[in-house]
Amino acid sequence: MTVTLERVTRSIDGLPAIRNVSLTLERGTLSVLLGPTLSGKTSIMRLLAGLDKPTTGRVLVDGKDVTSLDVRQRSVAMVYQQFINYPSLTVYENIASPLRVQRKPRAEIERRVQEAAKLLKLEPYLHRTPLQLSGGQQQRTAIARALVKGADLVLLDEPLANLDYKLREELRTELPRIFEASGAIFVYATTEPTEALLLGGRTICMWEGEVLQAGETPNVYRHPDSLRVAQVFSDPPLNVVGIEKSKGSVKYVGGVEAPATGLYAGIGDGAYRVGFRAHQLELASGIAGRHAFHATVTVTEITGSESFVHLSRDASSWVAVLHGVHEFPPGHMLDAVLDPNNVFVFDGAGRLVASPGGM
């Protein structure tokens, strides 16, 4: 099965929500819609499901135009961030409900519910009601109900957003196994780059209703086509600084000048913007071949295994990540160091012109 959005647009009250999007989704694949709130992720899902109709363009299933078909005429299931279960029914009956609507034989219902419960580790809880479950168990119940329906297209709209950290981590590691075992087309929406990396598959970066870049998740992360894609696919936020290259040297905004080595050696003279993620910024001094900046600590966030050090430099805000616990008081001066082989270089229009090979 193949689902295609063909040059789809959608306007709401005259304002564009989706702008000329073309996508093809194939059976057995996972596609992650990655973008901030209001980037168009939910709007894309509603078009795929048949809950909304495009203003222009078509929705195709195996080449057949299904644009005018509503959700009841499509083989689709959806899971939302909220735990949407029937509170008066047991876990078993919640999972079985779409099969009963389809009037499946009792033996088939039993088999498919047990299979879904095993896949999602819900077997011990089948006789409980949703209010007797943890948040993660409730969300697994909702996912099991979507899977047992046997839909060709399963849409998950930020399904882990309302769970606490431990439950999110648990389900994030389980979901790729569940997706692979199902064989359906999965589309998963998230605002979190880390979640896209953990889930794998393909990532579709979105911004203000547009698809900026789509491809295998590691490739999009390592080689963003544009500054905007790199910003969407960075958490903590991407650090950015302007440079001017001229006659074998680069001058950073703020006055630091250095030889045009590393990736800078392969670009022409002119103005560029350099982007680098938190792990690409080192806090040290005297490292040969690196470009150093004096920066002031504004705040340090300690997560336990990592420390996020927020820095201020010439009205710019940067963040670096260090392994372990590091405590720097506000106002402390540090050397922030960049490796010119380990940055993204974008031209004046924000297009990628150079990136690290093995990031």
Q: What is the DSSP string of 249-308?
A: EEEETTS-EEE--GGGGGS-SEEEEEEE-GGGEEE-S--TT-EEEEEEEEEEEE-SSEEE
Indicate whether 313 and 248 sit together in one domain. Answer: yes
Indicate whether 324 and 219 sit together in one domain. Answer: no
Question: In the chain, how many H helices and how many E strands?
Answer: 8, 21
Indicate whether 143 and 63 sit together in one domain. Answer: yes
Indicate whether 136 and 82 sit together in one domain. Answer: yes
Indicate whether 176 and 122 sit together in one domain. Answer: yes
Indicate whether 221 and 255 sit together in one domain. Answer: no
Picking from 227, 262, 289, the residue at the C-terminal end of a domain is 227
Gap between the Cα atoms of 59 and 47, Å rounded: 8
Establish if 304 belongs to a structural domain.
yes
| CA dist 200 → 134, 231, 232, 266, 275 (Å) | 26, 19, 16, 31, 23
Residue 329 host element (H or E): none
Provide the CATH number for the domain around residue 161.
3.40.50.300
Indicate whether 130 and 256 sit together in one domain. Answer: no
Residue span of the structural domain in which 315 resides: 239-354
Gap between the Cα atoms of 197 and 264, Å rounded: 28
Instruction: Quote the number of domains for the chain.
Output: 2
| CA dist 21 → 36, 52, 220, 250 (Å) | 17, 15, 18, 38
Picking from 175, 203, 227, the residue at the C-terminal end of a domain is 227
Picking from 162, 192, 227, the residue at the C-terminal end of a domain is 227
Indicate whether 99 and 248 sit together in one domain. Answer: no
Indicate whether 116 and 30 sit together in one domain. Answer: yes
pTM here is 0.90
Confidence (pLDDT) at 315: 78
Provide the CATH number for the domain around residue 272.
2.40.50.140
Establish if 46 belongs to a structural domain.
yes
Establish if 232 belongs to a structural domain.
no
Confidence (pLDDT) at 285: 67
CA pseudo-torsion sign 123, 125, 128, 134: negative
Establish if 90 belongs to a structural domain.
yes
Indicate whether 90 and 132 sit together in one domain. Answer: yes
Task: For the chain, 359 residues long, give each residue's pLDDT as a single digit of tens.
Answer: 899 999 999 998 889 999 999 999 998 899 999 999 999 999 999 999 999 999 999 999 999 999 999 898 999 999 888 778 999 999 999 999 999 999 999 999 999 999 889 888 899 999 999 999 988 889 889 988 988 888 899 999 998 877 777 777 877 887 887 787 777 899 999 999 999 999 989 999 999 999 999 999 999 999 999 999 999 999 999 999 999 999 899 999 988 999 999 999 999 999 999 999 999 999 976 677 789 999 999 999 998 789 999 999 987 899 999 999 998 999 999 999 999 999 999 999 999 999 996 44
Confidence (pLDDT) at 359: 45
Establish if 203 belongs to a structural domain.
yes
Q: Give 349's DSSP letter.
A: T
Establish if 98 belongs to a structural domain.
yes
Query: At residue 299, what are phi and psi to the nearest 5 degrees?
Result: -160, 150
Indicate whether 208 and 248 sit together in one domain. Answer: no
Segments in 120-268 forming alpha helices (H): 135-148, 165-182, 193-199, 217-222, 227-232
Establish if 196 belongs to a structural domain.
yes
